[in-house]
Structure formats: structure tokens, C-alpha cells
């Protein structure tokens, strides 16, 4: 059985992730937007701010515990175009 050519094309094209702009400043804005759109899905990241410079995602703010710190970093690393993650997240004092 032969696969239709459009199926093969869809598989090849779909493997690259979202297309980023060629402009580095726009790329940073797109990465920032994508990370924030993932973090806002969780209430516990309401106090986390994201900036991106040259593909380096910088996470700042307050989280509840070390597990939240790690999850925020994991979310940032999963975004296409991220070259490094700097987590400057503070733990909420109890």
C-alpha cells in the first residue's frame, strides 16, 4: 500500500515545529509569547515574568516551591527556539 504524496509531505513539514521569524527581535518576542501562553495555563505561575534575549529565556518572579521552579524551566525549554533558560525564580517565603 502506497501513502499519498500529500501525507508524506505533511509528515515532513510538520516535524519542524512552528516557523519563527528571521528577525532576531521578533523571534525573542515570539518565544516570550509562547512561553507565557504555556505558563498562564497554571495559576501557580501567575507571578512569573518572561523575557527573551537572543533565544535565552529569562524567568523571573515568585513560585511556591522547587518543583514549580523546575516545571517552569521545563516549560520554557520545550518551546521552539529557546537556546538557554535562566531561572531567576524566588521561592515564596512561608
Domain ranges of the chain: 20-91
| pLDDT value of residue 9 | 39
pLDDT at 38 over 70: yes
Structural contact between residues 55 and 28, judged by C-beta atoms closer than 8 angstroms:
yes
20-91 CATH fold = 3.30.1340
What does the pLDDT average to over 53-71?
97
Non-local CB neighbours of 48 within 8 Å, separated by 6+ positions? 39, 59, 60, 61, 62, 63, 72, 89
**Band (2; pLDDT cuts 50, 70, 90):** low
| C-alpha to C-alpha distance for 43 and 52, rounded to whole angstroms | 22
Question: What are the φ/ψ torsions at residue 76 (nearest 5 degrees)?
Answer: -65, -45
> What backbone phi and psi angles, to 5 degrees, belong to 71?
-65, -40
Query: Residue 24 — very low, low, confident or very high, per pLDDT cuts 50/70/90?
Result: low
Amino acid at each position: 500500500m502506497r501513502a499519498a504524496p500529500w501525507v508524506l509531505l505533511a509528515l515532513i513539514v510538520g516535524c519542524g515545529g512552528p516557523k519563527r521569524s528571521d528577525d532576531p527581535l521578533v523571534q525573542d518576542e515570539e518565544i516570550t509569547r509562547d512561553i507565557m501562553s504555556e505558563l498562564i495555563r497554571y495559576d501557580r505561575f501567575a507571578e512569573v515574568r518572561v523575557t527573551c534575549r537572543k533565544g535565552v529565556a529569562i524567568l523571573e518572579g515568585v513560585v511556591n516551591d522547587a518543583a514549580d521552579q523546575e516545571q517552569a524551566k521545563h516549560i520554557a525549554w520545550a518551546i521552539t527556539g529557546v537556546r538557554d533558560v535562566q531561572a531567576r525564580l524566588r521561592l515564596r517565603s512561608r
